[in-house]
Amino acid sequence: MTQYLNCVIVEHNPSNKSIDKSVIWLHGLGASGHDFEPVVPELGLDPQLAVRFVFPHAPRIPVTVNGGMVMPAWYDILEMSLDRKVDVVQIEKSAAAIRDLIQREIEQGVNPENIVIAGFSQGGAVAYQTALTYPQRLAGLLTLSTYLAVEDTSNYTAINKDLPIKIDHGTQDPVVPIVLGQRANETLTNQGYQVEFNTYPMAHQVCLPQIKAIGQWLNKVL
């Protein structure tokens, strides 16, 4: 029997329809599934949409760059250099756990082409790995203040080659420098993906104008 990650569930469904769209949104290092819960009502989503937001909690593991402290994390970070030494095996393990959540949404009646994968910082790195290697067409990929942690693109699936991808990054981010977001944009664009890359005058965070833009994007891709 599949052991699913614990999740916070928020539904946007003003018209009381059957839920037929989902957004699985991963938090950053040391945070929880509650982190982006308050964002949902601020998105300005179409009232005709029936969307389930799934905010999973990362497992608690030791994180090397934080002195081995145990905290919610999708994978271990071994070194905070620009080249970011990380535990790739753990990234894939987390991506597998998110694939299980996608399958659960499918079993609850949501077609994969109506599922968006989103993530902030560490969660965004796992979102990249999950969505770009997924064997069925998804609705979109939203990555915030993050980076491509897995350089091997050989297992990216052709079916998601035209996946709408939105990358947002703060120009003053001291945690994940903007060059890493730019690098991800360049890598994916060079691979033939259609990427929308946006910057905001902020640090390692989200801001209200960005949230409104994300809502407009979700209205379009869902």
Q: Is position 121 annotated as part of the catalytic site?
A: yes
Specify whether the CB–CB gap between 80 and 64 falls below 8 A: no
* pLDDT at residue 52 in the model: 98
| Within-domain flag for 162 | yes
Say what the pLDDT of residue 154 is. 84
- Does residue 213 belong to any structural domain of this protein? yes
Whether 169 is a known active-site residue: answer no
Active-site pick, 35, 76, 87, 173: 173
* 2 within a domain of the structure (yes/no): no
Q: What is the pLDDT of residue 120?
A: 98
Low-confidence ranges of the chain (pLDDT < 70): none
CATH number at residue 208: 3.40.50.1820
Catalytic residue (choose from 87, 121, 145, 169): 121
99 in any annotated domain:
yes
- pLDDT the model gives residue 124: 98
116 found inside a domain? yes
145 tagged catalytic: no
Residue pLDDT, tens place only, 2-58: 899 999 999 999 999 999 999 999 999 999 999 999 999 999 999 999 999 999 999
- In this structure, is residue 31 part of a structural domain? yes
Q: What is the domain range of residue 150?
A: 7-221
Check residue 80 and give its pLDDT: 82
Number of structural domains (the chain) is: 1
- By the 10 Å C-beta count (0-12 exposed, 13-18 middle, 19+ buried), 154 is classed as exposed
Is 186 a domain residue? yes
Indicate whether 164 belongs to any domain: yes
Give the pLDDT of residue 73.
98
pLDDT of residue 153: 84
